[in-house]
Homo-oligomer: A and B are copies of this chain.
């Protein structure tokens, strides 16, 4: 499946906190076609390190497809012969140097050409939903058959169900997290710490910030990495393990930017379902039947947090089903090839008459 990214311009966007972002360009991708009754759209929200490139390849020789390609395409779990699948770039997207993702974050140029930097406002997961809503309106999608996504994508899916319950047919949340618990908040703060320390010490030159960014990706990588997978792949070669993690962190950092990382990480670190609402009031608004898919060895968003979310929904009589993504890859099992392990269950849930 060869795909491409489209840019949509939103005029005078103001954040949910009330800061004017002005005219912004948002990248999105679509797969399949919207049907005549416009009721076959599925929004797939991306995780922290990804973009709207949820499936397919830009060119036949791309080494990797979009992050949920294992679930999306003709005859796959989200069958693009039946469904119109949409991905939208988040604000503050990390991939500011991939040559495809329109930039909305601290690297955005001001009128004078210098980056806006720390003057870029704090954005919230709800802002990602609001931006997606504008893109869906543009595409003629009033109601979603489903909203889905892993990790940070699950946050957006949950937020959709609370913000616009009448527009969400069902939710598929992989690596789900409905609100950050203190431990997760601390883990995410730990990702940002190298950048924070550099800034506190006045080391804000590009070289220093880039070194800090590599350290940040390095910390993140281990949190997302399954212990068993790493121990298996690098048995008796711990130095190769360190080198591999470091090389991954460096290549991530090469596509990204320290201030953007800090903003996006802080955004997810303070996520609490239903912007401005107390957690119980947020869950009271939630209507959509929901499939929760934690990864069984995930230590970043561990399965017991999914159980707590399931309990909140069940208490309110909402249909909820939980399936576990098997594997030893930890949080990473929620994307790439691994997530294909739950394709049958996802397909059944998406196609069920509810």
Interface residues of A (CB under 8 A from B): 180-183, 185-187, 189-190, 193-194, 197, 200-201, 203, 208, 211-212, 215, 218-219, 222, 225, 227, 230-231, 233-235, 237-238, 241-242, 245, 269-270, 299, 302
Set of chain B residues within 8 Å of A189, measured between Cβ atoms: 242
Asked if B231 and A181 make an inter-chain contact with CB atoms under 8 angstroms apart, the answer reads: yes
Asked if B238 and A180 make an inter-chain contact with CB atoms under 8 angstroms apart, the answer reads: yes
Query: Lowest 5 CB-CB distances: which A-B pairs, in order?
Result: A185-B238, A182-B241, A182-B234, A183-B227, A182-B238
Asked if A231 and B183 make an inter-chain contact with CB atoms under 8 angstroms apart, the answer reads: yes
**Residue among A219, A225, A227, A302 having the largest count of chain B Cβ atoms under 10 Å:** A227
Asked if A182 and B231 make an inter-chain contact with CB atoms under 8 angstroms apart, the answer reads: yes
Set of chain B residues within 8 Å of A234, measured between Cβ atoms: 182
Set of chain B residues within 8 Å of A238, measured between Cβ atoms: 180-182, 185-186, 269-270
Q: State the CA gap A182–B228 with chains docked (Å).
A: 10
Asked if B182 and A194 make an inter-chain contact with CB atoms under 8 angstroms apart, the answer reads: no
Known: A182-B230, A186-B222, A227-B302. A194 touches B211 (CB 8 A): no
**Residue among A194, A197, A212, A233 having the largest count of chain B Cβ atoms under 10 Å:** A197
Q: State the CA gap A203–B205 with chains docked (Å).
A: 14
- Number of this chain's copies in the assembly equals 2
Asked if A211 and B201 make an inter-chain contact with CB atoms under 8 angstroms apart, the answer reads: yes
Q: State the CA gap A298–B222 with chains docked (Å).
A: 16
A222 CB to closest chain B CB (Å) equals 5
Set of chain B residues within 8 Å of A219, measured between Cβ atoms: 190, 193, 219
Q: State the CA gap A103–B185 with chains docked (Å).
A: 37
Asked if B215 and A182 make an inter-chain contact with CB atoms under 8 angstroms apart, the answer reads: no
Q: State the CA gap A241–B183 with chains docked (Å).
A: 8
Set of chain B residues within 8 Å of A190, measured between Cβ atoms: 218-219, 222
**Residue among A187, A200, A242, A299 having the largest count of chain B Cβ atoms under 10 Å:** A242
Q: State the CA gap A206–B52 with chains docked (Å).
A: 45
Asked if B215 and A185 make an inter-chain contact with CB atoms under 8 angstroms apart, the answer reads: no
Q: State the CA gap A201–B13 with chains docked (Å).
A: 40
Sample (15) of A-B pairs whose CB atoms are under 8 Å apart: A181-B227, A183-B222, A183-B225, A183-B231, A186-B222, A186-B230, A186-B242, A187-B222, A193-B219, A194-B215, A197-B211, A197-B212, A219-B219, A238-B270, A299-B299
Asked if A182 and B237 make an inter-chain contact with CB atoms under 8 angstroms apart, the answer reads: yes
A273 CB to closest chain B CB (Å) equals 13
A250 CB to closest chain B CB (Å) equals 13
Set of chain B residues within 8 Å of A201, measured between Cβ atoms: 203, 208, 211
Residue of B nearest to A239 (CB): B185
Besides the known contacts A183-B230, A194-B194, A299-B299, 9 further A-B residue pairs in the complex with CB atoms under 8 A apart: A181-B235, A183-B225, A186-B238, A186-B242, A190-B218, A190-B219, A190-B222, A200-B211, A201-B203
